[in-house]
Amino acid sequence: ASEEAKTQAEAKCVELSKASAEAREEAKRAHDAARESGEAARAVIKQQSQAEAELAAVRERVTEAETSQLHAEEAGRQAVNEHARTKAQLKSVTEEVARMQKELEESASAVVEANSTRLALAAARGRAEAAEVASEQDRAS
């Protein structure tokens, strides 16, 4: 019976030794899996950090583009306003030129009329002088 107990004990030892080896192997696999999982997690965290940095850069470019667009829109509004002012000034200048041209035409007409009057007076003086000379010649003869 003691021999049988010894055999059973040895068999139990072998069985426990195998179970212990399997448990060590399983623990090693679990440790390796945990290490790999940790490495994978670190890689994911690194990728996430890179993605967040890229997203921040994209947001910055979007903000710059929006700011640029706002500046362009403001410049466009200013250009439209300046165009309207220029157009109003052009209309005012055109009206002033037309008024001045009318005044010039009226002045030119007055000058022509004055010149005609002067010529008529000069002609009348000339006729009066000629008549006077003729009258003096008639008296002298």
Tell me the C-alpha distance between 1 and 7, whole Å. Answer: 10
Residue 26 banded pLDDT, cuts 50, 70, 90: very high
Q: How much is the pLDDT for 107? A: 94
What letters, b where the CB count within 10 A reaches 16 and e where it falls short, cover 24-51?
eeeeeeeeeeeeeeeeeeeeeeeeeeee
Calculate the CA dihedral of residues 13, 14, 17, 18 and round it to 10 degrees.
-150
pLDDT digits (tens, 9 = 90+) for 36-79: 999 999 999 999 999 999 999 999 999 999 999 999 999 999 99
pLDDT digits (tens, 9 = 90+) for 8-17: 899 999 999 9
Q: What's the chain's Rg over C-alpha atoms?
A: 59
Helix and strand element counts for the chain (H, E)? 1, 0
pLDDT digits (tens, 9 = 90+) for 94-119: 999 999 999 999 999 999 999 999 99
pTM: 0.47
1: pLDDT strictly greater than 80: no
The full length of the chain comes to: 141
Mean predicted confidence (pLDDT) in 69-94: 98
Q: How much is the pLDDT for 2? A: 85
Q: How much is the pLDDT for 141? A: 74
